[in-house]
Chains A and B, each alone.
Chain A
């Protein structure tokens, strides 16, 4: 019976392999070969694609132009991914067809992990009609995904990956709209020292790369200005009670508590401060804690706290229209799930606009999108007016290098202070 056992095993194995193989979509022809396909294409598209560094994405009639998005949609950070997808879907719904081709948002779950990021990137890379990625949301996933997009020429525009190293690598395809930690952290420290006159500040972060980078830079700047950093500590994210940490910090009687992290922890910290002997200490948040969710969940405790945004979110009609559409379609207010709603909309919209700029309708009715030109076009974003701000991409891919706006909570509303 030994033989039959191996036999069955082998058959099943082969069947599984075989079942997977044919379903792989047109991967045997990488994008560079696309022009070689013997089809009656217009001469201009032929030359265009041949001269492009990465070749063309060819979208046949009936197919859609796909924009990818990689974000955690399950697990503890699911709120970020779901929010980004919901905003992105509205961006796609707002976009008009291009020569009769529809745009489609493909949001995939990367769990926020590097492993998931690489999986999603490989899936996107295998799809001929996917031309840009609004993401990934988390830096770890972005790191693992980046080399794959780099190879095939898919431009990225991330709404929230803030790790400074991402733009230090000299990547051609990676761009992002959020702040760099340097810009915000330094500005926050200066604001606390010069304007608010704090001399003793405790710095907390959520132990993840965004918050940690921010708090560390802020603390370093604050110290160099002459202030006293009474504490620089990480906390465990996702917990519901931080009063022990705060009680310990209260013993060092700081003027303010700076926090680098997101709304969830920010809200818990703010609420716990009132019962931990830090009633008189000012909570100073960052752009991760800015949002209506913070206001509604801290209530009176949130009064007098400071936060930051990339720049005055312009109260343009476009933003109002988006907010209305978001509430209408999803039954939640934008910003309730994560602070990156508007960024996600902007990233998707910007990518769609850039696709419009470079796409060419071929003689055969297919749409030709030169990938290299698209990559350069996204990097060339200049004075682009989104609903979360105006963006100009620096040569390294940081599209938001101006200083932040700080906000104070007064009577349950954010009021800009600079």
Chain B
């Protein structure tokens, strides 16, 4: 039944988008280019170290967005549903990491008589690894139960129904966290070795640019996790099964794949990634509170769509891209940082107008969209 008609028959009298799209695109790209010229060439307002700083923070936040976006994309690729509660899963991971650091902080490992030394300061590597393990495990568990309770019974319902269920679950988890842990904003207690703000210094144009340890950790770990996931999806049996289920559930079931189990595992994997992102968020930004998942959740969802939802490299690209736009965009265009989300959304809309299934999205057949 799949009709791969890339261009529908032109029976319309007028094709509005044919006229509007180029005009719209020209306007937006023209103004962007003009602003870029103003800021970069005409005014030369900022020197190199500023751009390096912006680039660094963009890459770090982009890595976090990408990890969360992969969670959206994995679930979407298989179930065609937007897991609106994904940001809350990340929040749960952040809290789990927070509690682990608090626990390791409270254990004193100093010898008798010497000044107190907490476990997390004495063994920073072990406690960070532990925090990631705990954060990922807890978030993965939360993802598993979320799917089991709120989505599985709706497997056969119309597509928007699980979305509403997800919104409800998101409300529930957010408020549960508020009631459990109070709405207070808390600080992550990083091990001394990777205290926030400390890092390697680069000297550019005579001024210091800091690459923080936490930032480097966030960026490198997120890249590693993404590569790991990509390899897993492409090479392992589970990955193959996931791809099979994503392309056709019924056929996959006929091939002896346990569809329910694969979906469960997908939620576990996406939860684990969100948990890792949450712990990174905590380590790098230091904040944890019940609302911490909301904004990154929306942003990462945007990133996933930008890259082409359902497409794993697309989510990575989209996340990085969004992070960089947010960080570089306002400065490069000489616009107030208050409007950075506007810039991000406008660029996203323009990209989607010209590539309606995202940057890397496959050109979907009419049926599937």
Contacts and interface: CB of A to CB of B under 8 A. Distances in A.
Interface of A: 74-76, 78-79, 82, 207, 233-236, 238-241, 243-245, 247-248, 250-251, 263-264, 267-268, 271, 274-277, 279, 293, 296-297, 301, 332, 336-337
B118 interface: no
Given A240-B287, A275-B197, A336-B184, 12 more contacts: A82-B183, A233-B338, A235-B337, A240-B285, A244-B326, A244-B331, A248-B50, A271-B197, A271-B286, A277-B53, A297-B185, A301-B197
Contacts of A240: 281, 285-287, 292
B336 interface: yes
A244 B58 contact: yes
Contacts of B46: 248, 251
A83 B295 CA distance: 23
B202 to A, nearest CB: 12
B196 A234 contact: no
A337 B183 contact: yes
A267 B188 CA distance: 13
A263 B185 CA distance: 10
Contacts of A238: 291, 295
A82 B289 CA distance: 14
B45 A251 contact: yes
Contacts of A75: 291
A78 B183 contact: yes
A76 B185 CA distance: 11
Given A236-B337, A244-B337, A251-B45, A297 B187 contact: yes
Given A233-B338, A277-B209, A264 B197 contact: no
Which among A245, A271, A332 has the greatest number of chain B C-beta atoms within 10 A?
A245
B200 to A, nearest CB: 11
Contacts of B295: 238-239
B355 interface: no
A275 B209 CA distance: 7
B162 to A, nearest CB: 23
A251 B61 CA distance: 22
A236 B343 CA distance: 13
Contacts of A244: 53-54, 57-58, 326-328, 330-331, 337, 340
Contacts of B328: 244
B42 to A, nearest CB: 16
A271 B46 CA distance: 22
Interface residues of B, number: 47
Contacts of A297: 185, 187, 286
B337 A275 contact: no
Interface in B252-308: 281, 284-287, 289-292, 294-295
Contacts of B83: none
B331 A74 contact: no
A337 B196 contact: no
Contacts of A239: 295
A76 B209 contact: no
Contacts of B53: 243-244, 247, 276-277
Nearest to A243: B57
Given A247-B54, A337-B182, A233 B331 contact: no
A236 B289 CA distance: 17
Given A243-B53, A244-B326, A275-B199, A234 B337 contact: yes
B21 interface: no
Contact of A275 (B212, B281, B291, B331): B212
Interface string B27-55: 00000000000000000011101100110
Contacts of B199: 275
Contacts of A76: 291, 294
Contacts of A234: 336-338
Nearest to A247: B53
A82 B184 CA distance: 9
Which among B46, B57, B208 has the greatest number of chain A C-beta atoms within 10 A?
B57
Contacts of A82: 182-183
B233 interface: no
26 contacts: A78-B178, A79-B182, A82-B183, A207-B338, A234-B338, A235-B338, A236-B337, A236-B338, A239-B295, A240-B281, A240-B292, A241-B57, A244-B340, A245-B337, A248-B50, A248-B330, A248-B337, A251-B45, A263-B185, A264-B287, A268-B285, A277-B53, A277-B209, A297-B185, A297-B286, A332-B184
B210 interface: yes
Given A271-B197, A301-B197, A336-B184, A241 B285 contact: yes
Contacts of A267: 185
Contacts of B292: 240
B340 A250 contact: no
B134 to A, nearest CB: 21
A274 B46 CA distance: 19
Contacts of B45: 251
Contacts of A271: 196-197, 286
Q: Top 10 nearest A-B pairs by Cβ distance?
A: A240-B285, A234-B338, A79-B183, A78-B183, A247-B53, A245-B337, A275-B210, A244-B327, A243-B57, A76-B291
B121 interface: no
A248 B292 CA distance: 25
Contacts of A248: 46, 50, 54, 330-331, 337
A277 B295 CA distance: 26
B207 interface: yes
B57 to A, nearest CB: 5
